[in-house]
Amino acid sequence: MLWVAAGFALIALIDLIPLIKKRFWHTMRVFLAVFAAALTLSALLAGGVAVPSVMLWLGSLLKAIGISY
């Protein structure tokens, strides 16, 4: 778990500092949203939590609105 946090901190330092310096606020918001989702999923997986596949949820959603793949 410590390696996951250290890795994500390094990625945030490398990628976030240029966005702040150039004042790309919209890009930074999108980056942080994706970053938070990836950090949460990685922390859960590193902690041994069984995370269900997103594709199962997406398949159920598509079937509910009448689309199948």
pLDDT of residue 17: 92
Per-residue confidence (pLDDT) for residue 68, from 0 to 100: 78
For 17-47, b where at least 16 C-beta lie within 10 A, e where not — what string? eebeeeeeeeebeeeeeebeeebeebeeeee
Domain boundaries, the chain: 2-64
For residue 66, pLDDT beyond 80: yes
How confident is the model at residue 10, as a pLDDT?
A: 95
**C-beta of residue 44 within 8 angstroms of C-beta of residue 4:** no
Tell me the pLDDT tens digit for each residue of 15-62.
999 999 999 999 999 999 999 999 999 999 999 999 888 888 888 899
